[in-house]
Amino acid sequence: MAEKTKKAEAKKVEKTSAKKTTEKSTTTKSETKKNNMLSDLSSVNKLRLLYELQILDSNIDNIKTIRGELPLEVQDLEDEIMGFDTRIKNVVHEIKEIESNIAQRKIGVEKAKNLITKYEEQQKNVRNNREFDSLSKELEYQGLEIELHEKTIKELSAKIKEKKKEIEATKAMAADKKVALGDKKHELSEITSETANDEKALVVRANEIKNLIEPRLLTAYNKIRHNARNGLAVVTVKRDACGGCFNKIPPQRQLDIKLSKKVIVCEYCGRILVDADFANE
């Protein structure tokens, strides 16, 4: 009975393993088929897709430029306000510690006063001068202790006043920053609401095109865009020169670019070059 159960379990494991292998094989074939389809695109179509992607990415960049430094300014203001809140909490904690110290000092004053009362009573019942002198010294010492405690209490109380003034000043600065933050957020919200739909449509279309470009080309495009100062990875030929770095392009190379039979990059800046007619399509 046990052997039959083991055999059944072994068959079940084999079927599951075979199913996973089939699914993996199907996925791999699907990905390979997709990559082959992308590779089969003509060079001119690849260049058109790259150029369209560049136009979309440039438009997205323009929208981000309209927003400008506002997102960073909002973040900076939020960080500053958070810093002010943290500073206030720290100062409040310091005040509590000082108040605790003052409370301990006041207890010390009361103890010293109680001892003084005790020693004064004892002085009335001394039997000799030595005991009287000893108690007099203790009374003097406790008097000095009271003076020291009271002086420290006075200094600590003054420090609390300074700390409270610091809290008020920090709250005032935080309030100003909160007003500025509200204005910046409102400004950013207005700009974002005006461009949100356009940006969303551009991003959707850009992602669609990215799925049509073979991974190798897309990786190269992203790398060039990342390294380019103005974010241009694909440029047209303008007045016999590269539209990115403006260096002259030899006539034969211009002819190759116009034919669009292969992907050609600028030998100076590395940008992908396309025919000027692409801009008119």
pLDDT more than 70, % of the chain: 85
Residue type, 244: G
At 106-160, the pLDDT tens digits run: 999 999 999 999 989 988 888 888 988 898 999 999 999 999 999 999 999 999 9
Task: Give me the pLDDT at residue 15, please.
Answer: 54
Which pLDDT value is given to residue 178?
A: 95
d(CA 232, CA 48): 15
Please tell me whether the overall predicted TM-score, pTM, comes out greater than 0.85 for this model.
no
Residue 17 has pLDDT above 70, yes or no: no
What is the Cα Rg of the chain in Å?
41
Q: Is beta strand 272-274 parallel, antiparallel or unpaired with respect to 241-242?
A: unpaired
CB of 271 within 8 A of CB of 244? yes
**Is the CATH number 1.10.287.1490 carried by domain 68-194?**
yes
Instruction: Identify the CA nearest to 274 among candidates 57, 49, 60.
Output: 49
- Cβ pair 84, 174 in contact under 8 A: yes
Assess whether pLDDT exceeds 50 at residue 270: yes
Spans of all domains in the chain: 68-194, 215-280
- Would you say 274 and 236 are in contact if contact means Cβ atoms under 8 Å apart? yes
